[in-house]
């Protein structure tokens, strides 16, 4: 199977500070791949490089057999950033319509995708409200809806369920499983270990280094431990 995402010996420095060091990563279609690690470990920097928002200092990245950054590739990638990039003076529907228009969706398809995405994150009844009236959790839900608006082949989600209630979080993960079964590629960053358990494969990142990787069951078996948190500690991590 041809990988959707290949990260090859990637390092990234900001000035003299090296925030990623020789990271290798391969993600295949039909897989939920989790990046786990504490705040400041390099997860967000890595996903920004994969999306093409920045360039690595060393190494190279390919998404769907295309070197990043690449503007045309953005049509096939759904990205949810850790901080919400929304237009507060527009309604939720206007935000969704604006981002849908960037992906060249026809009007009928645009309407259909807005309905689907809003329903998934339980915002259908709030679509006419301006985003400035939204709570932090509602903004996260809208950001996730935007990431899904163009039915992307690759979905990259940076801490997607922070600030979202447990019931809706279950609903979102159920949809991620469905998208995985459709053959989508899903890369998720999290520091919540029960979400890490839901991933097919994991890469544990600490101080910019990939310290171990494998499926949740493989990692627990490899380290002879029943909890992923303990695996992270034993592999060279520390508390969150």
Question: How many Å apart are CA 169 and CA 194, to the nearest integer?
Answer: 12
Q: What is the DSSP string of 83-120?
A: S----TTSBHHHHHHHHHHHTT--HHHHHHHHHHHHHH
- Amino acid 61: pLDDT: 98
Q: Over its length of 240 residues, how does the chain's per-residue pLDDT go in tens digits?
A: 899 999 999 999 999 999 999 999 999 999 999 999 888 899 999 999 999 999 999 999 999 999 999 999 999 999 999 888 899 999 999 999 999 988 888 889 999 999 999 998 999 999 999 999 998 889 989 999 999 999 999 999 998 888 788 888 888 899 899 999 999 999 999 888 888 999 999 999 999 999 999 999 999 999 888 888 888 888 875 443
What's the maximum distance between 2 C-alpha atoms anywhere in the chain?
54
Whether 45 and 97 have beta carbons less than 8 Å apart is answered as: no
* Whether 91 contacts 142, CB under 8 Å: no
Tell me the CATH number at 196. 3.40.50.300
Rounded Cα–Cα distance for residues 78 and 60 (Å): 20
pLDDT at 239: 40
Supply 217's token pair.
């069951």
Decide if 49 is inside a domain.
yes
Q: How far, in Å, CA of 232 to CA of 212, rounded?
A: 8
Number of domains in the chain: 1
Domain interval for residue 178: 5-235
Q: Tokens at residue 116, please?
A: 């689907």
Q: What is the pTM of this model?
A: 0.89
What pLDDT was estimated at residue 132? 95
Domain for residue 240, yes or no? no
pLDDT in tens, 200-232: 999 999 999 999 999 999 999 998 888 888 888
160 within domain boundaries: yes
- Which candidate, 12, 184, 162, places its Cα nearest to that of 83? 162
Residue at 136 is within a domain: yes
């Amino acid at each position: 199977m041809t990988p959707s995402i290949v990260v090859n010996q990637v390092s990234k420095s900001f000035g003299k500070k090296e925030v990623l060091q020789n990271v290798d990563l391969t993600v295949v279609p039909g897989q939920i791949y989790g990046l786990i690690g504490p705040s400041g470990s390099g997860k967000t920097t890595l996903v920004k490089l994969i999306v093409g928002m920045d360039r690595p200092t060393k190494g190279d990245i390919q998404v769907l057999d295309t070197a990043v950054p690449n503007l045309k590739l953005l049509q096939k990638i759904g990205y949810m950033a850790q901080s919400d990039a929304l237009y507060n003076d527009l309604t939720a529907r206007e935000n969704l319509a604006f981002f849908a228009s960037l992906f060249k969706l026809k009007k009928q398809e645009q309407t259909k995708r807005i309905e689907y995405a809003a329903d998934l994150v339980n915002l259908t009844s709030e679509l006419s409200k301006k985003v400035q009236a939204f709570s932090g959790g509602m903004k996260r839900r809208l950001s996730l809806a935007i990431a899904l608006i163009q039915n992307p082949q690759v979905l990259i989600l940076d801490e997607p369920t922070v600030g979202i209630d447990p019931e809706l979080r279950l609903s979102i993960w159920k949809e991620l499983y469905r998208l995985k079964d459709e053959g989508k590629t899903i890369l998720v960053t999290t520091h919540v270990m029960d979400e890490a358990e839901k991933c097919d494969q994991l890469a544990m990142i600490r101080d910019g280094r990939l310290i171990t990787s494998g499926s949740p069951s493989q990692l627990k078996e490899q380290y002879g431990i029943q909890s992923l948190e303990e695996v992270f500690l034993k592999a060279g991590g520390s508390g969150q």
